[in-house]
A and B are shown apart, each in its own frame.
Chain A
Amino acid sequence: MTELLLLIGACAALRAAGLAVAGRMGPEHPFIRWASSVAMATLAAFVASALLLPSGALATLPLAARLGGMGAAVAVLFWRGGLLLPVLVGLGVAVLLNL
Chain B
Amino acid sequence: MSGTGPFARACREALGAPALAMAATFLAFGTATAAAGLPLGWALLAALGVYGMPGQMILLGGGGVAAAVAANARFLPMAVSLSPWLGRGGARWLSLPFIAVTPWAMAMRQLPHTPPAERLRWFLGFGLTSWLVAGLSSLAGFLLAGRLPGPVLAVLLLTNPIYFGLIVADAARVHPARLSVACGLLATPLALVLPASLGLLAAGLVGGSVAFALSARRRD
Contacts and interface: CB of A to CB of B under 8 A. Distances in A.
Partners in one complex: yes
A60 to B, nearest CB: 5
B208 A39 contact: yes
B150 interface: yes
B211 A77 contact: no
Central interface residue in B77, B165, B200, by most chain A CB within 10 Å: B165
Chain A contact patch, size range: 35 or more
Contacts of B79: 14-19, 22
Contacts of B36: none
B85 to A, nearest CB: 7
A32 to B, nearest CB: 6
A61 interface: yes
Interface in B40-55: 42, 45-46, 49-52, 55
Contacts of B181: 40-41, 44
Contacts of B204: 38-39, 41-43, 45
A14 B42 CA distance: 21
B207 A44 contact: yes
A3 B182 CA distance: 36
Interface string A42-84: 1111111111111111101100011001100110011000111
B51 A70 contact: no
B153 A57 contact: yes
B184 A74 contact: no
Interface of B: 16-18, 20-21, 28, 32, 42, 45-46, 49-52, 55, 59, 64-65, 68-69, 72-86, 88, 92-93, 95-97, 99, 101, 104-105, 108, 112, 150-151, 153-155, 157-171, 176-177, 179-185, 187-188, 190-192, 196, 199-201, 203-209, 211-212, 215-216
Top 4 A-B residue pairs of the complex, sorted by shortest distance between their CB atoms? A18-B79, A42-B204, A41-B184, A38-B208
Given A11-B52, A60-B151, 12 more contacts: A3-B64, A4-B45, A7-B65, A16-B79, A24-B88, A33-B176, A35-B77, A37-B208, A41-B184, A44-B182, A45-B188, A45-B200
21 contacts: A15-B79, A18-B82, A19-B93, A32-B84, A35-B77, A36-B80, A37-B180, A37-B209, A42-B203, A43-B184, A44-B180, A44-B182, A49-B191, A49-B203, A51-B165, A54-B161, A57-B157, A70-B165, A73-B165, A74-B169, A87-B17
